[in-house]
Amino acid sequence: MARVTSPLTTALAQLSSAVEILGYSPGLHEILATPRREMHVAVPLRRDSGEIVLHRGYRVQHNISRGPGKGGLRYAAGVDIDEVRALAMWMTWKCAVVDVPYGGAKGGVAIDPREYSSAELERVTRRYTSEIMPIIGPERDIMAPDIGTDEQTMAWVMDTYSVNQGYTIPGVTTGKPLPVGGSLGRATATGRGVVHAAAAALADDGVDLSEVRAAVQGFGKVGSHAAHWLHEAGTRVVAVTDVDGGTRNDDGLDVAALLAHVATGAPVSTFEGGSAVSNDEIFGLDVDLLIPAAVEGVLDADTASSVKARWVVEGANGPTTPEGDRVLADRGIVVVPDILANAGGVVVSYFEWVQANQAYWWTAEEIADRLAQRMHAAYASVSETARDQSLSLRDAALAIGVRRVAEAHQIRGLYP
Ligand SMILES: NC(=O)c1ccc[n+]([C@@H]2O[C@H](COP(=O)([O-])OP(=O)(O)OC[C@H]3O[C@@H](n4cnc5c(N)ncnc54)[C@H](O)[C@@H]3O)[C@@H](O)[C@H]2O)c1
């Protein structure tokens, strides 16, 4: 599907809306809209065949006033600097909304990982890491997985950084494998957090997750775990898609069987426990809860007008365009925004970084409890602000996030 509204246009429109609510000056608006630091790098790769190809890479630190940059690394063919800028800006507000001591950053390499061998991806990752080495580190900018990258990618980044510094520095990445300083609960954290956010939003209307039907777009690191935790909570998950389309079953999909099917490398659409559904159809299904957990810009004015769900909980970053947002709001559909709903990943990344810095590991129960507590506290403060100021949950979350960042700027003062 062609993207009419770019992620950066969406992110900047959201910031403008928050700045208007907060009454900030044009100068402060411009500071908040502009990335603090960006690096563009060339990433040459010797393919297994011996051919040399070049990929473009980026790391953007949107804001580092509240702490080190924090944000994922994305491998996708269409990655460009504006997409990375938007994602970095959303990380800034997200870290502030859940009050973890980070700024916002993001990285990307324009490469389709499905077309490369594991050895080639390792070489791309190591070269990209070594190119951006001057601006990353546990006190500077900490990476995590995003679309097209995983815990193995984070282990390669951590190893490349550590080898070059001369000692092991696990805090330079989060979302690592457990044997090299990963945290229990990190792999499932974003999906689990999405389900906490959904539970809190439903509870505002006196509804329990066990009473609703849900559809999930995207069955990767976020969507698959969101579907799993929804199923655990008693929700009937009736449709799931990935990039190639998906599967639906009005009686409820067997999520465990679907996870096992996908673990073999098969696409969601070949699952035998349901019938075919496309990525366009999934938005208009007769469900209560819709979870976009794939890519940006999928809920535009058109798709938003077909939504039947009462709640949209954003697992992906930037899935709703400003036009889509207006349509959903006009139709009375509650949107739990990305910077709140998918913040469980950065919350447990923060726990992983704290554990790495202390070299002391928490139990799975401690992590699950602290994640739940943080997500529900963040939801409560956003929902209270929304009620008190008659704002949407998105505007309330943005107002809280942007205000916390602006306060850090004001308290620190302008140098020189
Ligand atoms: N991984 C995290 O911890 C995390 C945290 C916060 C937000 N996010 C955001 O969540 C989203 C998904 O990230 P992920 O880590 O699960 O990535 P992933 O690569 O693990 O999974 C992406 C999923 O989306 C599907 N997909 C890709 N393009 C699609 C399209 N055009 N239409 C429908 N489905 C498509 C893929 O097939 C896959 O199932 C992204 O927006 C990401 O920025 C991820």
3-class SS string, the chain: CCCCCCHHHHHHHHHHHHHHHHCCCHHHHHHHHCCCEEEEEEEEEECCCCCEEEEEEEEEEEECCCCCEEEEEEEECCCCHHHHHHHHHHHHHHHHHCCCCCCEEEEEEECCHHHCCHHHHHHHHHHHHHHHHHHCECCCEEEEECCCCCHHHHHHHHHHHHHHHCCCCHHHECCCCHHHCCCCCHHHHHHHHHHHHHHHHHHHCCCCHHHCEEEEECCCCCHHHHHHHHHHCCCEEEEEEECCEEEECCCCCCHHHHHHHHHCCCCHHHCCCCEEECCCHHHHCCCCEEEECCCCCCECHHHHHHCCCCEEECCCCCCECHHHHHHHHHCCCEEECHHHHCCHHHHHHHHHHHHHHHCCCCCHHHHHHHHHHHHHHHHHHHHHHHHHHCCCHHHHHHHHHHHHHHHHHHHHCCCC
For residues 191 and 158, state if they share a domain. no
For residues 132 and 227, state if they share a domain. no
pLDDT at position 242, please? Answer: 98
Q: How far is the CA of 390 from the centre of ligand 1 (A)?
A: 32
329-380 pLDDT tens trace: 999 999 999 999 999 999 999 999 999 999 999 999 999 999 999 999 999 9
For residues 57 and 100, state if they share a domain. yes
Whether 410 maps to a domain, the answer reads no
pLDDT at position 241, please? Answer: 98
The answer to whether residue 221 is catalytic is: no
302-329 pLDDT tens trace: 999 999 999 999 999 999 999 999 999 9
Whether 394 maps to a domain, the answer reads no
Q: Which of 171, 203, 238 is the last residue of a domain?
A: 171
Report the CATH number that the domain containing residue 233 is assigned in CATH: 3.40.50.720
For residues 44 and 167, state if they share a domain. yes
For residues 197 and 335, state if they share a domain. yes
For residues 74 and 40, state if they share a domain. yes
Whether 4 maps to a domain, the answer reads no
Look up the pTM and report it. Answer: 0.98
Confirm or deny that 190 is annotated as ligand binding. yes
Whether 360 maps to a domain, the answer reads no
Q: Which of 171, 206, 231 is the last residue of a domain?
A: 171
pLDDT surpasses 50 at 98: yes
pLDDT surpasses 50 at 1: no
Pocket test for ligand 1, best of 60, 146, 313 (most atoms within 8 A of CB): 146
Report the CATH number that the domain containing residue 126 is assigned in CATH: 3.40.50.10860
Q: Which protein residues are within 6 Å of ligand 1, measured from CB?
A: 145-148, 190, 217-223, 241-243, 279, 293-295, 315-317, 342, 345
For residues 46 and 106, state if they share a domain. yes
Q: How many domains does the chain have?
A: 2
Give the domain extent around 39: 34-171
